[in-house]
Structure 1
């Protein structure tokens, strides 16, 4: 998932520059496929079912300045989850690559289900 390059690109809708991704061929080959990935569960906005999987725990996640957007994946679960922030989990879902919608992550897992790792 780290095989991605970014260029600052202007989005007129927001009158701002955002990091525009260019996915490698190996990452593109995973699009639409079911994958399983292990990481730290982050409960971003539980009331709105906004969750992410991060390479690092909350204190060192992408939003806290540690790593780039390639270290986080947006999660869309089939059913409500009972994971807590910083639980180490394995999540299985269908990978969706996102280049243009800056309101969502570059990586999105849809139809997710997960297990808590012990």
Structure 2
């Protein structure tokens, strides 16, 4: 009786441990030759790095009482005009333009749930690119920051190409 119980316990433990392991390929993003080439040529940006930003209040023509201007960190300044890779959620701006967001639409910058550093303006290389709201994508393109026009995004990705959906 004890031997049967011990065997059953060992088998049950084995099944339990095997069920805790996650399949290796089920959630892995698709990798293509283009993705591998892009990863070796471009810097991968993170939302944490984009969030390392400070603001300074300055007067402007449109806002005489002052407005908060971004002070972009030196690490990002060095990436200006360089090819980067960035992942995030798609937020439609209008029928033709999109933004890339750290958060889904329900908690994005527009809803007051995050700051302006959690979103990037996108200019696609192919103007006909169609994406869905909250679709998680990885883009490659040219990084540009804006620290002087308060009516524009702080961060941009230009000549963007979708490398992973």
Taking structure 1 as the reference length, what is the TM-score of the superposition? 0.88
Match of 2:75 in 1: 26
Task: Pick the structure with more strand per residue.
Answer: 1
Q: Is 1:72 the equivalent of 2:119?
A: yes
What is the rounded CA distance, in whole Å, between the counterparts of 1:16 and 1:62 in structure 2?
23
Match of 2:62 in 1: 13
Match of 1:93 in 2: 141
Shift of 1:116: 4.4
What is the rounded CA distance, in whole Å, between the counterparts of 1:8 and 1:87 in structure 2?
35
Match of 1:105 in 2: 153
Residues 16 and 34 (structure 1 numbering): CA distance in 2 closer, same or farther, change over 3 Å?
A: farther
**Counterparts of residues 46-85 of structure 1 (less than 5 Å):** 46=95, 49-79=96-126, 80-85=128-133
Q: Secondary structure at the match of 2:100?
A: strand
Shift of 1:24: 0.9
What is the rounded CA distance, in whole Å, between the counterparts of 1:44 and 1:17 in structure 2?
27
Shift of 1:9: 2.6
Q: Secondary structure at the match of 2:156?
A: strand
Indicate the structure (1 or 2) with the bigger Cα radius of gyration: 2
Higher relative contact order structure (alpha carbons within 8 Å, sequence separation ≥ 6):
1
RMSD: 1.5
What is the rounded CA distance, in whole Å, between the counterparts of 2:131 and 2:67 in structure 1?
31
What is the rounded CA distance, in whole Å, between the counterparts of 1:14 and 1:70 in structure 2?
21
| Unaligned 5+ runs, structure 1 | none
2:86 to 28, 37, 56: 37
| Unaligned 5+ runs, structure 2 | 1-49
What is the rounded CA distance, in whole Å, between the counterparts of 1:111 and 1:76 in structure 2?
6
Q: Secondary structure at the match of 1:26?
A: helix
